[in-house]
Amino acid sequence: MRIVVVGGVAAGMSAASRAKRFDPAVRVTVFERGATISYSACGLPYVIGGKVPGFERLMARTPEQMREQGIDVRLRHEVTDVDAAARTVTVLDREAGRTFTEPYDRLLIATGVSAVCPAWARTRLRGVHVLRDLSDGQAILASLPGASRACIVGGGYIGLELAEALRSRGLHVTLLEQAPEVAGRMLDRPYQRRIRTELERHGVEVRCGTAVEELTSQDGRVTTVQTSGGPVPADVVIVAVGVQPNVELARAAGARLGKTGAIAVDPRQATGVPGVYAAGDNTESTHRVTGQQVHIPLGLTANRMGRVAGVNMAGGDARFPGVVGTGIFKTFDLGAARTGLTQAEADRLGLRAVSVDVDSTDHAGYYPDAAPIHVRLTGEHGSGRLLGAQLIGPPESVKRVDVVAALLHGGGSVQDLFELDLAYAPPFSGVWDVLLVAADRLGRKLDEGEEAASDPHQER
């Protein structure tokens, strides 16, 4: 059995290792067009900001370690085409400049996503970057000496993490966001505003409702971002406006793309084209709360999809269980986390969703250093089903979102959450943890008549 994996990071290397472990007799070849495999892209902002001392700390496994496991890793090898009928891929060896054909019995397309690059950003100007992979991270870090002003375009979690990173390098940071608030795709409006306030508290100049028009430069280096709200001087510009799945090879293989634009797969990560699998950021998954296909490109999802694909390609039978839309990030002293649906997302889906907001402290109020924590809990009127949660507070405190994620995974109700036996001691929580308080209040709100329960004045 010959397994070919395209892409050597989270999904690809998880699949390769898992396949080899499942059946040591399979032959696994990984083609990676970049110069490294198996590193944590999630750690890039922390190296750029100086919290993690060097990019080498992000390396999980080296090609040599993989080769010792019997996995043939080929760096700087780009797969340029798939012939699904012949079961071959065309590979460009970028170093040697030669192209060859490689046969496979099972093929995994684990090619990730690319950063969206609007027309104004498609330039060769020095100082203009995206942050998608290790080489982008290295380029950003290399451009910082001598720079004093950074402009980040995009207020998603990567833009927010970079705002903190570049402030901690002493730069003046302007964050531009076209939408009315930052973190718009992750949180409801009142929680978005809290993130913005935290950025401003740490000296980030936030300009929402602002669109970039063009970049101006001098001697090949960017100097100014021209926006709908006027010019923003910048020595470094980082474009963080979203990602798009890399689906060219899937298309070439004849695989179907879903409504999200990512590759459609079954729970075994099979594309439907004989022998062809897909996993990771380029692939859709099923949202367990809505039953719909979604594209939520995140690290755990990519690793888990890769494991599932690896087992199946090696002859086993594993299933990807789906996701519940859990995410977490940190901005300066605030952590933000979400799972399931926000109120706004539930509204868009036409669900009869009801939310409560609870403002409390992350541990017992009388115990030293108690800090504010805010929880929005959302449930469904009629069924009592839990729909989602959003938390904002000290970074470690918002990881309690996992309790709600676990319940959502099993289709739990608001009452189920309220009944949980959660850990309590004053340094960790109030006797009634903030999640239990929220579940209690939401349960009572759901018990009221529908009209009383849905609050038209609550901000979505």
Active site (catalytic) residues? 42
- Write phi, then psi, for 136 (nearest 5 degrees): -65, -45
CB 361, CB 441: distance < 8 Å = no
Q: Minimum distance between the CB of residue 434 and ligand FAD, rounded to whole angstroms?
A: 23
**260: exposed, middle or buried (Cβ count in 10 Å: 0-12, 13-18, 19+):** middle
Q: Is 117 in the site for ligand FAD (CB under 6 A)?
A: no
Q: Nearer to ligand FAD by C-beta: 240 or 439?
A: 240
Pick one of 5, 9, 234, 334: the residue that binds ligand FAD (CB under 6 A). 9
CB 351, CB 423: distance < 8 Å = no
Q: What one-letter code names the amino acid at 246? A: N
Touching ligand FAD, residues 208-267 (CB under 6 A): 246, 249
Residues across the chain: 460
Q: Minimum distance between the CB of residue 455 and ligand FAD, rounded to whole angstroms?
A: 32
Which window, 127-135, 173-181, 202-210, 450-458, contacts ligand FAD (CB under 6 A)? 127-135
CA distances to 276, 346, 353, 404, 410 from 387, in Å: 34, 8, 8, 9, 12
Q: Nearer to ligand FAD by C-beta: 312 or 413?
A: 312
CB neighbours of 377 closer than 8 A, spacing ≥ 6?
Answer: 355, 356, 358, 386, 388, 389, 404, 414, 417, 435, 438, 439, 441, 442
140 φψ region: left (φ > 0), alpha (ψ -120 to 50), beta (else): alpha
DSSP 121: G
SS3 416: helix
Pick one of 3, 4, 5, 12: the residue that binds ligand FAD (CB under 6 A). 12
Q: Is 11 in the site for ligand FAD (CB under 6 A)?
A: yes
Which window, 9-17, 147-155, 220-228, 438-446, contacts ligand FAD (CB under 6 A)? 9-17
Q: Nearer to ligand FAD by C-beta: 297 or 426?
A: 297
Which window, 30-38, 200-208, 268-276, 360-368, contacts ligand FAD (CB under 6 A)? 30-38
Q: Nearer to ligand FAD by C-beta: 45 or 430?
A: 45
Residue span 332-371 as binding mask against ligand FAD, x where in contact by CB under 6 A, dash where not: ----------------------------------------
Q: Note the residues at the interface with ligand FAD (CB under 6 A).
A: 6-12, 31-34, 41-42, 44-45, 78-79, 110-112, 131-133, 158, 246, 249, 280-281, 297-300, 302
